Amino acid sequence: MSEISPAALRGAVDLSSLRNRPAPAPAGAPAPAVVDVVVDATDETFGQILELSRTVPVVVDLWAEWCGPCKQLSPIIEKVTRELGGRVLLAKVDVDANPQLAQSFRAQSIPMVVALIAGQPVPMFTGVVPEQQVRDVFAQLLQVAAQNGVTGSLALGEEADSAEPAEEPPLPPLHAEAFAAIETGDYTAAIRAYEQALVENPRDEDALAGLGQVRLLDRVQGLDLQAARAAAADAPLDVQAQFAVADLDLAGGHVEDAFGRLLDLFAQLPSEERTPVRERLIELFGLIGAADPRVITARNRLSSLLF
């Protein structure tokens, strides 16, 4: 991205229903004290966050627990935000838990990152991007904010100053090895580490979930969405072609599209060719979670096709 402008998303994002109506703060004034520069935003609290954008840029990170690419991008955004020392607020939005916000931002795929300056949306990026690009876009965001008179700084409340950071338990060695490999983009090494963790403990649910996410990231790495869709359209019964588009859909947040594609494929294949499709569906169900209504619906359809 070479230029960002609030006008770029005009009409594409509708935040009118989420606004509070307090008197606007003077341009450049210090923002009210907050506990942290990284906050979880909800449908109910977003109006307050929108008002904060009058004095500091607010970066909105739309994510979901099942989204593997989100787990790559979100830590980078949080790291860069904290390094700016209160000049930017990061609002994290779980799209599954906050459907009104997801609809307002028209989040057709995630991760999706949008900024707010004086209540106006500013495009940043969709999908995973390198850390240096994140830094470049944040720097550009601050320039745009300054041009619009938004130059305040967040004052952290006493609660943040006095709170002792919770000490997280260390990761098991193989999990730590996998995580380090993911950070460097070595998905093959991460897969090996998670597979070894499952050999040592077949009931390691964290390793099983991590393995599924990394396998997905490894499969979509380097895929071209348009080329994959064209190949799948040309060969509707080509299992690998359909797998590629389903993986890309799932990684982009189009869960129902991914499930629907594979279930349609399963229904059309001869019974002796169905096993790989069933196994892939079960793997993707595990990524999203058994309690997710989209998984429940897809699993019921799969059962009806099996019997």
pLDDT tens by residue, 216-262: 888 988 889 899 999 999 999 999 999 999 999 888 778 899 999 99
Same structural domain, 130 and 181: no
Q: Which are the catalytic amino acids?
A: 67, 70
Same structural domain, 130 and 183: no
Same structural domain, 151 and 215: no
Dihedral angle over CA of 254, 250, 300, 274, nearest 10: 130
CATH number at residue 117: 3.40.30.10
Structural domains of the chain, count: 2
Dihedral angle over CA of 274, 279, 283, 286, nearest 10: 100
pLDDT at site 160: 43
Q: Look at residues 94, 129, 162 and tell me which one is the last residue of a structural domain.
A: 162
Rounded distance between C-alpha atoms, residue 285 and residue 290, angstroms: 7
Q: Look at residues 135, 162, 189 and tell me which one is the last residue of a structural domain.
A: 162
Evaluate whether residue 38 is within a structural domain.
Answer: yes
Same structural domain, 23 and 57: yes
Evaluate whether residue 1 is within a structural domain.
Answer: no
pTM exceeds cut of 0.75: no
Give 93's strand partners. 41, 62
CB 27 within 8 A of CB 120: no
pLDDT at site 150: 86
pLDDT at site 234: 97
| Low-confidence residues in the chain, pLDDT < 50 | 1-3, 5-31, 158-163, 165
Q: Is the peptide bond before 111 cis (omega within 30 degrees of 0)?
A: yes
Q: Is 163 strand, coil or helix?
A: coil
pLDDT at site 292: 77
Residue 258's domain spans which residues?
173-306
Rounded distance between C-alpha atoms, residue 95 and residue 103, angstroms: 9
Q: What tens digit of pLDDT does each residue of 257-297 get?
A: 999 999 999 999 999 999 999 999 998 988 777 777 888 99
Evaluate whether residue 268 is within a structural domain.
Answer: yes
Q: Is 122 strand, coil or helix?
A: strand
The angle at the Cα of 70, spanning 229 to 275, to the nearest 5 degrees, equals 50
Q: What's phi and psi for 60, nearest 5 deg?
A: -105, 120
pLDDT at site 293: 86
Pairing of strands 58-63, 89-94: parallel
pLDDT at site 199: 95
Both structure tokens of 45: 């609290």
Pairing of strands 89-94, 112-117: unpaired
Evaluate whether residue 167 is within a structural domain.
Answer: no
Could you give the maximum distance between any two Cα atoms of the chain, in Å? 69
Same structural domain, 217 and 277: yes
Evaluate whether residue 168 is within a structural domain.
Answer: no
Count of all residues that appear for the chain in the document:
307
Same structural domain, 38 and 153: yes
Same structural domain, 246 and 207: yes
Dihedral angle over CA of 20, 23, 25, 26, nearest 10: 150
Same structural domain, 204 and 283: yes
Same structural domain, 222 and 110: no
Q: Look at residues 133, 162, 191 and tell me which one is the last residue of a structural domain.
A: 162
Reported as half-sphere exposure (CB side, CA atoms, 13 A), residue 168 has a value of 3
Rounded distance between C-alpha atoms, residue 205 and residue 183, angstroms: 21
